[in-house]
């Protein structure tokens, strides 16, 4: 087992990285949650069988368990499904030593995490991500929440997990579209923080798409380390540093909102959003064409979308961007690259340039 440590003082935790070690979840949970006596295991229709295995190893390590299976899909990140989790916690007489164990992708992690953050004013949380996107991004850093008809992730809280258990063998049965979607966030880390990592992704794209175990462990581990480095310095987005992790996301959240939750997977929206952000940086005079060309080529190799859909009304996309959490007083703000491996927040981007980028094929 390899480990990545997220150092946040009393909220520090370990990310365990393994391959084909399903029985290890229980002992890991016992170490991460020494005071917990019970656990609610949350999964969706796609991960219910894995959740059964997790629940068994938790019981073998002294946890009283209950389980909830929610529908699969982005629509599950709702107040209605959140209420169902509260009901399940109440039914099992949950107290503050009861853990929520989220077994699934980003939707399960965000929903289960927000239930843990808010029930009884906070329960311990263990993440068991099963998708590429959840392993490299959403399970790490403490962001939890649900969607609202007016916008993605409008209701949420910061709530760090007690631990994250990543078994890359879970990816063996992940549908190809879901796997490729997660690669968008991997590419993001190279663009925003680590040029050599981006070079490595270009050189090893074939092995990564083939899900070669050693390549998976390296890519997932490096992505987690890069995200942990940012979270350690700006846990709650108070200094502005953590905003770099939202590269491409201002466009992406608009695509998801206007296109309808679930129309595109999150990583698909992020991929198109990063292409838009690079083009915006080029039109804004921040970079030359090479960075955007390399990013476009890698995302295309990974089979990801690289442009918004022409049927999405541009005025609606702009309106959603004005309500993005990085916006200030309704003014558009974007994370844009200044070179490969570095991005910054810009609040002086003319709307006309944004419209020009959205109109590009």
The rounded distance, in Å, linking the Cα atoms of 347 and 243 is: 13
pLDDT at 330: 64
Q: What is the pLDDT of residues 192-225, one digit of tens each?
A: 999 999 999 999 999 999 999 999 999 999 999 9
pLDDT at 263: 87
pLDDT at 327: 61
- Per domain, the residue ranges of the chain are 2-173, 176-359
What burial letters (b/e) apply to 35-68, b meaning 16+ CB within 10 Å?
ebebbbbbbbebbbebbeebbbbbeebebebbbb
pLDDT at 238: 85
253 is annotated as an active-site residue: yes
Q: Which residue has the tokens 């979607």?
A: 181
CB 298 within 8 A of CB 242: no
pLDDT at 326: 63
pLDDT at 202: 98
Flag whether 109 is marked binding.
yes
pLDDT at 325: 64
Catalytic residue among 121, 150, 238, 311: 121
Q: What is the pLDDT of residues 138-183, one digit of tens each?
A: 999 999 999 988 877 889 999 999 999 999 999 999 999 999 999 9
159 is annotated as an active-site residue: no
Query: Domain 2-173 is of which CATH architecture?
Result: 3-Layer(aba) Sandwich (3.40)
Flag whether 218 is marked binding.
no
**Integer CA distances (angstroms), 342 to 189, 277, 345, in order:** 10, 13, 11
Catalytic residue among 185, 235, 256, 282: 185
Q: Work out the number of other CB atoms within 10 angstroms of the CB of residue 293.
A: 12
- Answer yes or no: same fold for 2-173 and 176-359: no
pLDDT at 348: 83
Q: Which of 251, 209, 201 is nearest to 226 (CA)?
A: 201
268 is annotated as an active-site residue: no
pLDDT at 237: 86
- DSSP structure string for 289-348: HHHHHHHHHHHHHTT---S--TTS-HHHHHHHHHTSTT-BTTB--EEEEEETTEEEEES-
Catalytic residue among 222, 246, 268, 282: 246
For the chain, list residues with pLDDT below 70: 325-330
pLDDT at 328: 59
The rounded distance, in Å, linking the Cα atoms of 141 and 230 is: 9
Question: What CATH number belongs to 176-359?
Answer: 1.20.1090.10
Q: How many CA atoms lie less than 13 Å away from 173 in the CB half-sphere?
A: 9
Backbone dihedral angles phi then psi of residue 167, each to the nearest 5 degrees: -115, 110
pTM of the model: 0.93
Catalytic residue among 77, 159, 188, 242: 242
């Amino acid at each position: 087992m390899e480990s990545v440590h997220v150092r946040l003082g009393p909220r520090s935790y370990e990310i365990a990285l393994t391959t084909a070690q399903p029985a290890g979840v229980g002992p890991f949970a016992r170490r991460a949650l020494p005071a917990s006596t019970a656990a609610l295991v949350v999964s969706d229709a796609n991960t219910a069988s894995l959740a059964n295995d997790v629940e068994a190893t938790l019981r073998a390590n002294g946890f009283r368990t209950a389980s909830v299976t929610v529908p699969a899909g982005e629509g599950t990140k709702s107040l209605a499904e959140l209420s169902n989790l509260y009901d399940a916690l109440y039914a099992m007489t949950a107290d503050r030593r009861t853990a929520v164990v989220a077994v699934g992708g980003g939707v399960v992690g965000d929903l289960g995490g927000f239930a843990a953050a808010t029930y009884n004013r906070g329960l311990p949380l263990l993440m068991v991500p099963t998708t590429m996107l959840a392993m490299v991004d959403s399970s790490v850093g403490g962001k939890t929440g649900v969607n609202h008809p007016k916008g993605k992730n409008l209701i949420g809280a910061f709530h760090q997990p007690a631990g994250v258990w990543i078994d890359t063998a879970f990816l063996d049965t992940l549908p190809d579209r879901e796997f490729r979607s997660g690669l968008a966030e991997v590419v993001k880390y190279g663009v925003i923080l680590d040029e050599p990592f981006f070079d490595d992704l270009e050189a090893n794209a074939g092995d990564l798409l083939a899900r070669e175990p050693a390549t998976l462990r390296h890519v997932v581990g490096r992505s987690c380390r890069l995200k942990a480095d940012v979270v350690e310095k700006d846990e709650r987005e108070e200094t502005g540093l953590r905003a770099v992790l939202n590269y491409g996301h201002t466009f992406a959240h608009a695509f998801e909102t206007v296109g309808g939750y679930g129309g595109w997977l999150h990583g698909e929206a992020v991929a198109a959003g990063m292409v838009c952000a690079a083009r915006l940086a080029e039109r804004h005079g921040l970079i030359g064409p090479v960075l955007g060309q390399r990013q476009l080529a890698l995302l295309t190799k990974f089979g990801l979308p690289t442009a918004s859909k022409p049927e999405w009304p541009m005025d609606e996309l702009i309106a959603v961007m004005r309500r993005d959490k990085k916006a200030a007083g309704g003014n558009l703000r974007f994370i844009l690259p200044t070179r490969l491996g570095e991005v910054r927040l810009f609040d002086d981007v003319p709307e006309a340039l944004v419209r020009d980028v959205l109109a590009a094929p």
